[in-house]
Amino acid sequence: MKSLASVALWTVLLLLFTVCSDGRRHHLEVRDDIRRYIPLSTFGFYPGGILDVKLSNFLVIPHSEYNIYGLSLDKTLSDAMNPYLDTHQDNCILQEPISSLRSGPILFFIMDLRREVVYLNCSSEWQNTHIYKDASHIPPMRGKRQSFATVSDSKSMYMQRRKRAVNDLVSVCRNYNLTLTCTKNDLPFKVCSFTFAMEVSNKADEGLYNLYFHSCPNYDMATYYSLQFDVDIEEKNGQNYLSAGEMPLPALYFMMSLLFFLSGLFWVFILKKSKHPVFKIHYLMAVLVFLKSLSLLFHGINYHFIQTKGEHVEAWAILYYITHLLKGAVLFITIVLIGTGWTFIKHILADKDKKLFMIVIPLQVLANVAEIIIAESEEGFQSFIQDQIT
């Protein structure tokens, strides 16, 4: 029993130190990936929100300059479903006529490896958002009149706010492009990079944005092209690095932590004043409530640092993971003990009950660790894990 517990503990600690990600400053390394599309980010923006993307060291094996690769940035109502991906499981969305895409605003960044340029193309509903070559070109402040003035082509690409006909809007998007920086170094083929930044300028632009990378040749089952690239993504709403829907979470976690702590104190007070028999299982329940309170407290502190710095502070993140795992283990132990009738019916566990604990509890701990790893991993890595499982 002790050996199993020690193995589980060391496994937990090892995985905890490998799970810490960079919060809302993402860094994803894609290596030897043959997926058709790779989810990179989902984030809710308010007016003033900024998305900064740097894609570097892009390489395809076998190399071909005529295949289509690129990014799509779309705005959806929910992160549970994406109307574009759901209807393009067997064909690449980057190869679709942009005029046929009417399920919501969407913008394409299509990489031309031969000409070393990234072409922009948008649907008829993409009207208001500002796209820049990088975050340094975003003006710090603009008045109302300046907000909709055309910015110099050398610094930014600006989508007109006024409503236009479909053909007019498509031509506006196509007038802008980004530089695709490619070098060979010591390799026989090109390694390319490009950057862009998006500013959500007004209330009409706010919403949930999804960023995907698409590899069109991998939709052909005959040949798979292996992708390699690094991508750095920074998302924020003003000085707040939390997504629009996550902004209330730090205060909510702190409040719930206080409520659980007060509930635990009240439970202990009831046990001390009770005239009826009090069993050990009742005190174990009190421990569970205090662990839940600590878990919520550390989770709130962790989210506070993500909110202000865009990344985890490892000490608080690890404390949260440890208390979260302990809470899950104690909860499961409490349920099993109640089910076996310990202290209520019998005071000694039978051999089969002990074997049940030895098998089930370590498995439950590992399941909780796996859940944390998936939850805290980058979005592209999450989908990779899920693809491997399925």
How confident is the model over 269-288, as pLDDT tens digits? Answer: 999 998 888 888 889 999 99
Out of 84-88, 206-210, 342-346, give the one with best mean pLDDT: 206-210
Phi, psi of 32 (to 5 degrees): 50, 50
Question: Among 9-18, 31-40, 56-65, 82-91, whose mean pLDDT is lowest?
Answer: 9-18
Determine the 3-state secondary structure of 377 from DSSP.
coil
Q: How far apart are CA 194 and CA 127, in angstroms?
A: 23
* Band (78; pLDDT cuts 50, 70, 90): confident
* pLDDT for residue 72 is more than 50: yes
Taking each helix axis from N to C end, the angle separating 249-273 and 280-309, rounded to the nearest 10 degrees, works out to: 160
| Tens-digit pLDDT profile for residues 203-239 | 888 899 999 999 999 888 777 889 999 999 999 998 8
Burial 238-251 (b: 16+ CB within 10 A, else e): eebbbbbebbebbe
* pLDDT for residue 339 is more than 90: no
* pLDDT for residue 375 is more than 90: no
| Tens-digit pLDDT profile for residues 300-338 | 999 999 999 888 788 888 899 889 888 988 888 888 788
Determine the 3-state secondary structure of 149 from DSSP.
coil
| pLDDT score recorded for residue 298 | 95
Write down the domain spans for the chain: 2-20+245-389, 25-237
Torsion sign (Cα): 201, 207, 213, 218: negative
| Other C-beta atoms lying within 10 Å of the C-beta of residue 145 | 7
